[in-house]
Amino acid sequence: MIDVIFILGAVIAFTATNIDDLFLLVFFFGNKNYKNSHIVIGQYLGVISLIIISSMGYFFKFIIPSSLISLLGIFPILIGIKELIKLKTHKNSDNDLNQNAEFKRSSIFQVALVTISNGGDNIGIYMPLFASISSSQIITIVLIFMIMIAIWCFISHSLVNHRLLRDKIEKYGHIIFPFVLIAIGIYILSI
């Protein structure tokens, strides 16, 4: 029998811990350097990594101090700085085309890394949640989270392509994006 309360709780847990990812995804989808498929794959890889860390994290919390986990904030800052440098030195040349091809190959991992770095709240909520439920309930939650990732990507992509927002995101999104990454990194470091 389907436990509606349990499913609703899983949806709320995902939403509460990933509302910030919704905004990050908007900026990723609004940046023409990232392919849509790379963003979706990167988001799935990032959230799956957070789920794995959370399930193992119950035991690791006795070994790894939380202050070390917050150091993951360095990664969004570094990616944001890289994006700022790219904005400043942007030139249309053949060399740029080669760099873009290399960037696109690594963009999946950049999206995943930002998702993981921004996942402190995910780990903080998923760890005790997974520790308090059965293995079949964990499987149910993971399946719900996989569906929610698709919904999150759909909503973000739809916002980017909404006629009222599309032009503004295309015009300013690539400029705002590095600052959003840096701000998230600073926030993660401060936790």
Token pair 């399946």 is at which residue?
143
pLDDT of residue 126: 83
pLDDT at 46 over 70: yes
pTM exceeds cut of 0.85: no
> Any idea how long the chain is?
191
CA 28 – CA 161 distance, rounded (Å)? 12
Q: How confident is the model at residue 94 (pLDDT cuts 50, 70, 90)?
A: very low
Q: For residue 130, give every residue at least 6 positions away whose Cβ sits within 8 Å of its Cβ, in sequence order, or none.
A: 54, 55, 58, 138, 141
pLDDT of residue 86: 79
CA 132 – CA 54 distance, rounded (Å)? 12
Looking at per-residue confidence, does 36 or 62 come out higher? Answer: 36
CA 186 – CA 102 distance, rounded (Å)? 27
Q: Are 110 and 79 in contact (CB under 8 A)?
A: yes
Token pair 């030195």 is at which residue?
89
Looking at per-residue confidence, does 125 or 72 come out higher? Answer: 125
First to last CA, the chain: 40
CA 115 – CA 47 distance, rounded (Å)? 7
Looking at per-residue confidence, does 79 or 6 come out higher? Answer: 6
Domain boundaries, the chain: 4-190
Q: Are 78 and 143 in contact (CB under 8 A)?
A: no
CA 147 – CA 21 distance, rounded (Å)? 15
Closest among 8, 26, 13, 5 to 181, alpha carbons compared: 26
Closest among 83, 105, 99, 66 to 181, alpha carbons compared: 83
What is the token pair recorded at 169? 């995101």
